[in-house]
Amino acid sequence: MPTKKIVIGSDHGGFALKTHLVKFLWEKGIKVLDVGPECSESCDYPIYARKVAEHVRLSGLGILICGTGLGMSMAANRFRGVRAAVCTNEYLARMARAHNNANILCLGERVLGFGLAEGVVDAFLNTKFEGDRHLRRINLIEDITE
């Protein structure tokens, strides 16, 4: 389990799952920084993607939740050093960490039940990057500037 704070954010479409996961993580003794929003009023997901990405791009892990996870991942991946992955099951979450060194997990509240989302979060947080050939490939992604 990570010792560093997990940074979490959502839009209105992910607010209920964010609230659930903040409690889920605190109950496990994991420190959480919730960058908002504070209520389920309609809002724009890129604003919260930016807040989480700016925390995570240098170190640590984050979670972004919207209706599908898609908008959040598109926005977060615009930040250099961010590797955001939409994961809909535990296998994807493990691979996102082990092979892609993903540092932001994107979830869709309208896609996942809360129980499955907990499993996906656990898989993401408990898997380490394998490095080696995967590091070479990630560095090649970082080289892409077009």
Residues recognised as catalytic = 66, 99
Q: Which of 6, 7, 8, 13 binds ligand RB5 (CB under 6 A)?
A: 13
Number of residues that bind ligand RB5 (CB under 6 A): 8
φ and ψ at residue 22, rounded to 5 degrees: -60, -45
* Part of the chain binding ligand RB5 (CB under 6 A), chosen from 49-57, 62-70, 95-103, 118-126: 62-70
The closest alpha carbon to 107, from 76, 78, 75, 64, belongs to: 64
* Part of the chain binding ligand RB5 (CB under 6 A), chosen from 16-24, 26-34, 60-68, 99-107: 60-68
- Decide: is 33 part of the binding site for ligand RB5 (CB under 6 A): no
Q: Are 24 and 121 within 8 A, CB to CB?
A: yes
- Decide: is 9 part of the binding site for ligand RB5 (CB under 6 A): no
- Decide: is 68 part of the binding site for ligand RB5 (CB under 6 A): yes
95: Cα separation from own chain's centroid: 14
Give the sheet arrangement for strand 61-66, strand by strand: 32-34, 6-10, 61-66, 104-108, 84-86
Residues of the shown chain interacting with ligand RB5 in the complex, contacts defined by CB under 6 A: 11, 13, 45, 66-68, 70-71
